[in-house]
Chain A
Amino acid sequence: MAAPEEIPILQVDDISKSFDGVEVVSNVSLKIHSGETISILGPSGSGKSTLLRCINWLEKPDRGDVYLTGKRVGRKEDGQLMSDIELASIRAQMGMVFQNFNLWPHFTVLQNVMECPVHVLGMSKDDAVLRAEQLLEKVGLKAKRDAYPYSLSGGQKQRVAIARALAMVPTVLLFDEPTSALDPELVGEVLSVMRDLSAEGMTMVVVTHEMSFAREVCQEVVFMDDGQVVEQSTPDKFFSNPQTERAKRFLTRYE
């Protein structure tokens, strides 16, 4: 007899999303359990980023539901839309790292990291400074605490963005192509931080084109094309023995 299934950290249930009549995400379902790192792969325009943005309702899904530790995101139990306040409080439990970093330029590095703990969670400034310093140390940027984002390299910006997301002690971290805007020589420093997080048991959903990261770090790979999940398996199986023509074609392009 199977043990009763534990509640997944994140459950995506039959999500669809269209823009101007074109369906970008079609009936996608996923489950991510605590401590897992999964990557979502696929060609450009396959709907990966839109799917990720539907998870924290930066895009409102047309159909389907998202559950964070069993709690419905975006809609109340009765199906009514959540208020902005309710949605904000559930988003605060999901960290997100963007392709273009989106650090807040008017704040210093330290202020970027302590901003949300103070103003969203209501943490005291002293505690927030301590935590922010620890996190900056973790991503190797403590020396840059008083610098403005403007003066940082892309790789440094992205590491600050990761620290900013971690400062909220998120249940799950969403990465939207975190290395795609970086110069090739800066990709490694960001991936190395992400590897460490994964090893520490952070639950992560990573939309990426970094095949080596997907292969070496993730427990599961989701391959999307045309808005649909085409394959979903372990990295070993997916990279050595893809089941579909589309996945094979995609992988040959990255060989």
Chain B
Amino acid sequence: MTDLEIVIKEWPRLASGFGNTVLLFGVSSVGAFLLGAHMVGPLRSRSKIVRVALHSYVDGMRMLPFLIFVYLLYYGLPSFGVKLDAWTAGLLGLTIYHCAYVTEILRGAWDQLPTGQTESAQAHGYHGFRLMRRIILPQLVLNSAPVLGNQLIYILKDTSFLMIITVQDLTYAASSIQSMYFVPLEPFLIAMALYWAISLLIERLVRVVQGTAKVRGLGRA
């Protein structure tokens, strides 16, 4: 069997790993975004305790390497009596970790938004999360599409760390084919191409959002 034939024979393994990677990426991206959208408002809360707590979380996560964070969730938490399975730890880890970045991106975009946007919404009877959802958040997304897209690519790539805690993602699949058959190159090249394909889709999405922003005179950063 040539190396390529081996990879073709083991294709189901790669496909299932790819499926898992897409699932991990999709769920944690949506989770990180929704959570971030809810955190960016309280980041400017009147309560100092809330502000300090949220800033500590955002800064704390950003100072921590992702791999160590996932290690702590999966191997560290059991010492405190909390035992998570690999998937739960992986999804939680990705979501919580990248939510900090998403929150920071949205915060930065909000700082650039004219205060008149919030004031005119308040003057017309908006408050709380509805103001955020209808008036602020769409503008933050339109204005920061390239940076958010960049973050999505980071989330995608960080899924590959999860093989360390036994999640059977695409990198895990490639790595196991490699170790079973001693084919060092092909499985990883294919994995690389698949990561690349998703990244291209993300880029495409960013373009679409940028186009939407452009006709509205937004997103000219």
> A residues bordering B, Cβ < 8 Å?
56, 58, 84-85, 87-89, 91-92, 94-96, 98, 100, 102-106, 115-116, 119-121, 148-151, 161, 164-165, 168
Interface centre among B124, B128, B216, B217 (most CB of A within 10 A): B124
Q: Among the listed stretches B9-17, B59-67, B131-139, B166-174, which one makes contact with chain A, having 4 or more residues with CB under 8 Å of it?
A: B131-139
Q: How many B residues are at the interface, by size bracket?
A: 20 to 34
A94 touching B123, Cβ below 8 Å: yes
- What CA separation (Å) do A103 and B217 show in the bound complex? 12
- What CA separation (Å) do A56 and B130 show in the bound complex? 19
State the Cβ distance, A123 to closest chain B Cβ, in Å.
12
Write out the residue numbers on chain B whose beta carbons fall within 8 Å of the beta carbon of A106. Answer: 138-139, 142, 216, 218
B127 touching A98, Cβ below 8 Å: no
B120 touching A85, Cβ below 8 Å: no
Which of B119, B125, B126, B135 interacts with A58 by CB under 8 Å?
B119
Which of A100, A116, A151 interacts with B124 by CB under 8 Å?
A116
Write out the residue numbers on chain B whose beta carbons fall within 8 Å of the beta carbon of A56. Answer: 123
Which of A100, A120, A168 interacts with B114 by CB under 8 Å?
A100
State the Cβ distance, A118 to closest chain B Cβ, in Å.
10
Q: Which residue of A lies closest to B141 (CB)?
A: A106
A-B contact pairs, 10 of them (CB 8 A): A58-B123, A91-B123, A94-B123, A98-B119, A102-B117, A106-B218, A116-B124, A119-B126, A120-B124, A148-B215
Q: Which residue of B lies closest to A99 (CB)?
A: B116
Which residues in window 86-139 of B have CB below 8 A to A? 114, 116-117, 119-128, 130, 134-135, 138-139
Which of A95, A100, A105, A121 interacts with B217 by CB under 8 Å?
A105
B120 touching A96, Cβ below 8 Å: yes
- What CA separation (Å) do A116 and B125 show in the bound complex? 8
B122 touching A102, Cβ below 8 Å: no
Interface contacts beyond A102-B117, A104-B139: sample of 5 additional A-B pairs, CB < 8 Å, sorted by A: A58-B122, A98-B116, A105-B217, A148-B215, A168-B125
State the Cβ distance, B205 to closest chain A Cβ, in Å.
17
> B residues bordering A, Cβ < 8 Å?
114, 116-117, 119-128, 130, 134-135, 138-139, 142, 215-218
A105 touching B125, Cβ below 8 Å: no
Q: Which residue of B lies closest to A83 (CB)?
A: B127
State the Cβ distance, A92 to closest chain B Cβ, in Å.
3
State the Cβ distance, B110 to closest chain A Cβ, in Å.
14
A102 touching B119, Cβ below 8 Å: yes
- What CA separation (Å) do A87 and B121 show in the bound complex? 13
Closest 3 CB pairs of A and B: A150-B217, A92-B125, A102-B120
A119 touching B130, Cβ below 8 Å: yes
Which of B122, B123, B135 interacts with A104 by CB under 8 Å?
B135
B124 touching A165, Cβ below 8 Å: yes
Q: Which residue of A lies closest to B139 (CB)?
A: A106
Write out the residue numbers on chain B whose beta carbons fall within 8 Å of the beta carbon of A85. Answer: 127-128
- What CA separation (Å) do A56 and B126 show in the bound complex? 13
- What CA separation (Å) do A121 and B216 show in the bound complex? 26
Write out the residue numbers on chain A whose beta carbons fall within 8 Å of the beta carbon of B218. Answer: 105-106, 150
Q: Which residue of A lies closest to B121 (CB)?
A: A104
Which of B117, B125, B139 interacts with A120 by CB under 8 Å?
B125
- What CA separation (Å) do A102 and B121 show in the bound complex? 9
Asked, given contacts A115-B134, A148-B217, whether A91 binds B120 with beta carbons under 8 Å apart, the answer is no
- What CA separation (Å) do A161 and B216 show in the bound complex? 17
Which of A102, A116, A151, A164 interacts with B116 by CB under 8 Å?
A102
Q: Which residue of A lies closest to B131 (CB)?
A: A88
- What CA separation (Å) do A41 and B123 show in the bound complex? 22
A119 touching B134, Cβ below 8 Å: yes
- What CA separation (Å) do A100 and B120 show in the bound complex? 10
Write out the residue numbers on chain A whose beta carbons fall within 8 Å of the beta carbon of B117. Answer: 102, 104
Write out the residue numbers on chain B whose beta carbons fall within 8 Å of the beta carbon of A104. Answer: 117, 120-121, 135, 139
A91 touching B134, Cβ below 8 Å: no
State the Cβ distance, A71 to closest chain B Cβ, in Å.
15
A91 touching B116, Cβ below 8 Å: no
Which of B116, B121, B215 interacts with A100 by CB under 8 Å?
B116
Write out the residue numbers on chain B whose beta carbons fall within 8 Å of the beta carbon of A89. Answer: 125
- What CA separation (Å) do A95 and B218 show in the bound complex? 26
Write out the residue numbers on chain A whose beta carbons fall within 8 Å of the beta carbon of B215. Answer: 148, 150
State the Cβ distance, B158 to closest chain A Cβ, in Å.
30
Write out the residue numbers on chain B whose beta carbons fall within 8 Å of the beta carbon of A91. Answer: 122-125
